[in-house]
């Protein structure tokens, strides 16, 4: 919804929240339902009211539990039947520097200050550990924003007795906990308050009158920033940038002005702005955001512009370069198709508002931010939180490389008349094993990201994944795939519940990354599942398909594996059964699994 895109009108959102909510629900086609417990050290009602709008806009329909005022710690540490019954999918702890109960005095020495730090930190750590033991769900915790006054002036952050120094040290303890614990995320309100303006953010009127930890006008930006973490944890991040060239990555029109006259680099202030933006885009690639070009240009001119000696980005930084005279909306849809992504995984960046309007109308779900003037490009994209990072794996860092390798595979496929011969030429090798600690984070990430090849579209946190791995009642398998072009990483996940009394395995989750579609990895996984069933004397496998707006491609997947459909309801949800034959013949004939030839 345009009203919720950054930069937005906070006053409008606060005044029209009921109307916006009603419109979002009416226009929404498919929501992911999640239960979020908000445990507040201050008043949270309006935060929840506005947060709901941003989550609905991301396709997440939340149900909320709110603690009583300032009962965040008690709700966790003492018996709370209401919270237990709510069974949250996520817990958000909304505290601020107003909840710090003691600060150093000017006369305090280092030992006293360390003891105070441990006391304040221990209060939170005990709560976090209790949540991990009891609720097994992701936790979001605010860090501490700076106070709005400085007793020690400019030395407030220097002297150990200063409040800023104390909060910095306390924040660092929070960060260390986050680094050492999975499914625990910091909501950086220290940055958010600085970006908003601390004097306005911390207006004491709102604390003393309403017990708000920030001014009322800051709540939409606060909630928007918080929603980035939630939608990333629940798999609603975008995956790729699609960038225009002229007056977007450089100043000028390469076809008219020539490469030598483009504004990029250190020679002019405008050139410096574009160079900084290119540097920002390059940094996005380094965290796994996939880069593509969609430009009305001759291909040769586009490549020449990207090879400008003062530019930061190069042609090899992009997976697809669509530089032609086709409508940009058509190119956008082709980029999505060729990358095996849905259009709603893409973010289109173009300086031309007319092009943005057309793409926004023709590429359903794609984000099309109003990026403003070149000086605003970075701020708009960065504050929009399209690619919020909740973890950074080797697969993330190598994602562009993996997709570029897919383009090479596609080119090679065209030279083969026989598809199986092409698959054999890839020299594919797979590793299929039980869930292992090394890959827990990636497995959880896949369950929250994969949509097209996900038969039940169930979403799991890392804590859930670890629970399945430790439970003998479940069969767990992950699949890694590599070939002569490179390593695709973990690309397939299966979770099955064993019913040993009936000798049946119920497949509760089967998903695969779209970047390895049509590579026969699904057959290799099926062979492994059958082998595991035989070892446990399981005679049949039950499969389930739950249709969504995105996974129609796997509607008949179980049929292709030899399952028989035994039931289907009016909503298209189907149940399949596979009776394992005594003479089962492996379906995979092109992938070497775990050292096989």
- Nearest by Cα to 189 from 180, 206, 202: 202
φ, ψ (nearest 5 deg) of residue 437: -55, -35
Contacts of 542 (CB under 8 A, 6+ apart): 504, 505, 506, 507, 575, 576, 577, 578
Which residue ranges form the domains of the chain, and what is each CATH number?
Answer: 2-233 (3.40.50.1110), 240-384 (3.40.50.1000), 416-593 (3.40.630.30)
Which one-letter DSSP state was computed for residue 419?
A: H
Q: Rounded to 5 degrees, what angle do the CA atoms 191, 195, 197 make?
A: 115
Is 0.85 surpassed by the pTM of this model? no
Number of other CB atoms surrounding residue 518 within 10 Å: 10
- The CA distance from 45 to 312, in Å, is 46
Residues of the chain with pLDDT under 50: none
Neighbours of 109 (CB within 10 A): 10
Contacts of residue 84, defined as CB under 8 A and 6 or more positions apart, other chains included, come to none
Q: State the pLDDT at residue 450.
A: 57
Would you tell me how many other CB atoms lie within 10 Å of the CB of residue 122? 11
Q: Is the dihedral of CA 563, 566, 567, 568 positive or negative?
A: positive
3-state secondary structure of 242: strand
Q: How many CB atoms lie within 10 A of CB 155?
A: 13
Rounded CA separation 228/130 (Å) = 25
Strands 591-593 and 428-433: parallel
Model pLDDT, residue 549: 76
What is the β-pairing status of strands 139-142 and 184-187? parallel
| pLDDT for 533 | 96
Q: What is the pLDDT of residue 473?
A: 95
Residue by residue, DSSP assigns 83-122 as HHHH--SEEEEE--GGG------TT--HHHHHHHHHHHHH
Q: Please tell me the distance from the alpha carbon of residue 454 to that of residue 512, in angstroms, as a whole number.
A: 7
Distance CA 39, CA 44 (A): 8
Q: How far apart are CA 523 and CA 308, in angstroms?
A: 46
- Rounded distance, CA 138 to CA 133, Å? 12
């Amino acid at each position: 919804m345009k009203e919720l895109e950054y930069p937005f009108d906070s006053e409008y959102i606060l005044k029209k929240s009921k109307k916006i909510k009603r419109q979002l629900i009416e226009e929404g086609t498919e929501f992911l339902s999640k239960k979020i417990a908000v445990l507040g050290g201050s008043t949270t009602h309006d935060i929840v009211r506005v947060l709901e709008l941003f989550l609905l806009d991301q396709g997440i329909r939340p149900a909320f539990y709110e603690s009583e005022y300032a009962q965040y710690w008690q709700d966790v540490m003492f018996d709370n039947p209401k919270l237990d019954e709510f069974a949250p999918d996520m817990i958000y702890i909304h505290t601020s520097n107003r909840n710090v109960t003691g600060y150093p005095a000017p006369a305090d020495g280092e030992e006293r200050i360390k003891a105070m730090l441990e006391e304040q930190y221990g209060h939170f750590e005990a709560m976090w550990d209790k949540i991990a033991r009891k609720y097994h769900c992701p936790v979001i915790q605010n860090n501490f924003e700076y106070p709005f006054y400085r007793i020690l002036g400019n030395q407030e952050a220097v002297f150990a007795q200063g409040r800023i120094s104390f909060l910095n040290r306390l924040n660092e303890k929070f960060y260390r906990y986050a680094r050492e614990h999975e499914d625990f995320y910091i909501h950086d309100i220290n940055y958010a308050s600085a970006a908003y303006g601390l004097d306005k953010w911390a207006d004491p009127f709102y604390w003393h009158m309403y017990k708000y930890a920030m001014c009322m006008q800051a709540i939409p930006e606060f909630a928007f920033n918080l929603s980035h973490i939630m939608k990333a944890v629940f798999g609603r991040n975008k995956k790729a940038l699609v960038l225009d060239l002229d007056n977007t990555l450089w100043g000028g029109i390469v076809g008219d002005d020539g490469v030598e006259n483009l504004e990029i680099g250190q020679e002019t202030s405008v050139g410096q702005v574009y160079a900084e933006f290119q540097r920002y885009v390059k940094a996005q690639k380094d965290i796994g955001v996939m880069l593509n070009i969609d430009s009305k240009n001759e291909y040769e001119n586009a490549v020449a512009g990207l090879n400008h000696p003062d530019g930061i980005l190069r042609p090899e930084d992009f997976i697809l370069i669509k530089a032609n005279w086709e409508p940009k909306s058509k190119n956008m849809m082709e980029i999505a198709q060729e990358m095996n992504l849905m259009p709603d995984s893409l973010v289109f960046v173009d300086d031309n508002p007319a092009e943005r309007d057309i793409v926004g109308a023709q590429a359903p779900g794609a984000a099309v931010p109003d990026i403003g003037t070149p000086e605003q490009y970075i701020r708009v994209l960065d504050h929009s939180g399209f690619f919020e990072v909740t973890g950074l794996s080797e697969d993330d860092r190598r994602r562009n490389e993996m997709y570029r390798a897919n383009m090479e595979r596609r080119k090679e496929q065209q030279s083969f008349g026989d598809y199986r011969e092409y698959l054999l030429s890839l020299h594919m090798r797979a590793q299929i094993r039980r869930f292992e600690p090394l890959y827990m984070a990636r497995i959880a990430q896949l369950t929250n990201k994969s949509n097209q090849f996900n038969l039940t579209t169930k979403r799991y946190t890392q804590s859930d994944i670890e629970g399945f791995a430790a439970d003998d009642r479940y069969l767990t398998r992950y699949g890694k795939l590599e070939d002569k072009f490179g390593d695709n990483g973990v690309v397939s996940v299966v979770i099955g519940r064993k019913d040993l009394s009936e000798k049946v395995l119920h497949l509760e989750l089967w998903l695969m990354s779209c970047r390895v579609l049509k590579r026969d990895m699904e057959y290799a996984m099926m062979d492994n599942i059958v082998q595991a069933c035989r070892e446990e004397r399981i005679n049949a496998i039950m499969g389930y398909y739950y249709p969504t707006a995105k996974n129609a491609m796997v509607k008949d997947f179980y049929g292709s594996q030899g399952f028989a459909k035994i039931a289907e309801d009016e909503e298209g949800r189907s149940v399949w059964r596979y009776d394992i034959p005594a003479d089962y013949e492996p379906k995979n004939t092109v992938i070497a699994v775990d050292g096989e030839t």
